[in-house]
Amino acid sequence: MQLKLAEQLGKRFLNPVPTKVGGLSTIFKVGPRFFTGSAARSPQQPLGPFRTDPRIYRVAPESRLRITWMGHSSSLLELDGARILIDPVWEERAAPAQWIGPKRFFAPPLALEDLPPLDAVIISHDHYDHLGEATVRQLAGIESQRHARWLTPLGVGALLQRMGVEPERITELNWTEQVKAGSVQITALPARHFSGRSLFNRFETLWASFVFTGPTRNVYYGADSGEWEGFGEIGANFGPFDLTMLEVGASDPLWADIHMGPEGAVRSFRALGGHGLFMPIHWGLFDLALHPWRQPIEYIVAVDGLTIWSPAPGAPTEVLPGQEIRSDWWR
């Protein structure tokens, strides 16, 4: 398989391989299971509070790679002098409205206004757990972030403009296209997923994974994706990676094509080359599936021979070669 630009059929973008997303029939299959085991899908005791001291960002990381995981897929990446905010969602709920829908398990560790000046904001796709409208509107209006560049897959830029981001600050990327943020080269790459903020506009904007390549460090962010054979080519062409960020939560056999789950994440990490550290993302913040909320991380930490990098939410943590982080905050 050759990595290439995304293809379209009419207004709809296509996955790199045939993919089943599921529709109303999936909802009917999920229905009976939704009401069983619901207590385990969310923490029974309050989590946190987690707090990030913003003063730490006044000093650059000695390792030239530091990440603050905010929960789910939101992270602040500091790499070779560049600061990149990934898929920021500070909302109370990952939903179209803030009075109903999946509610976050803990508050954001850091206020948006306390973020250090950013070089770029990455939006991997337009789903509510990766693109929060209130977050975008607030972040776009913060004076210290006026120079941040917003990088998105094709079609998402129009949505950001409606949320208050000036068009000259937005760069849309097709798969395999690249752009610089400071000293870091950012490459948009295929993922096996879909888009849409309703049942009626699926596939009309693109989705992507990303590689962040600096002069000294290299990171892969898988965003949302099912397993697919392109991971081997991504690893061969853009690796080895110091850190590989792959989704482990919100999975189910009914939608395995678009969410790899913990078992698939381990296989995908190895397909990417298995180098460096494995960072589990897309878990621990929202109830978006039918599995117990701890199940993804419990599986991951039990895998033999997997070098895991999993800090507590809100803890700015340097990524050192071969040095594991196995925080047990979730216990």
In a domain, 11, yes or no: no
Distance in angstroms (rounded) separating the CA atoms of residues 88 and 217? 22
pTM of the predicted model, to two decimals? 0.96
Domain tally for the chain? 1
Q: What is the pLDDT of residues 187-231, one digit of tens each?
A: 999 999 999 999 889 999 999 999 999 999 999 999 999 999 999
pLDDT at 2: 81
Q: What is the pLDDT of residues 49-105, one digit of tens each?
A: 999 999 999 999 999 999 999 999 999 999 999 999 999 999 999 999 999 999 999
CB-based contact 316:66 (threshold 8 Å)? yes
Distance in angstroms (rounded) separating the CA atoms of residues 313 and 108? 9
Distance in angstroms (rounded) separating the CA atoms of residues 165 and 118? 14
pLDDT at 37: 62
In a domain, 164, yes or no: yes
Tell which phi-psi region holds residue 250, choosing left (phi > 0), alpha (psi between -120 and 50) or beta: left
Identify the burial level of 209 via C-beta atoms within 10 angstroms of its C-beta, where 0-12 means exposed, 13-18 middle and 19 or more buried.
buried
CATH no. for residue 207?
3.60.15.10
Residue 277's Cβ-side half-sphere holds a number of Cα atoms within 13 Å equal to 24
Residue 133 has pLDDT above 80, yes or no: yes
Query: What is the crossing angle of helices 261-271 and 230-238, to 10°?
Result: 40
Q: What is the pLDDT of residues 17-64, one digit of tens each?
A: 999 987 655 554 555 555 566 669 999 999 999 999 999 999 999 999
In a domain, 7, yes or no: no
Range of the domain at 96: 49-326
Name the token pair of 328.
Answer: 């047990």
In a domain, 3, yes or no: no
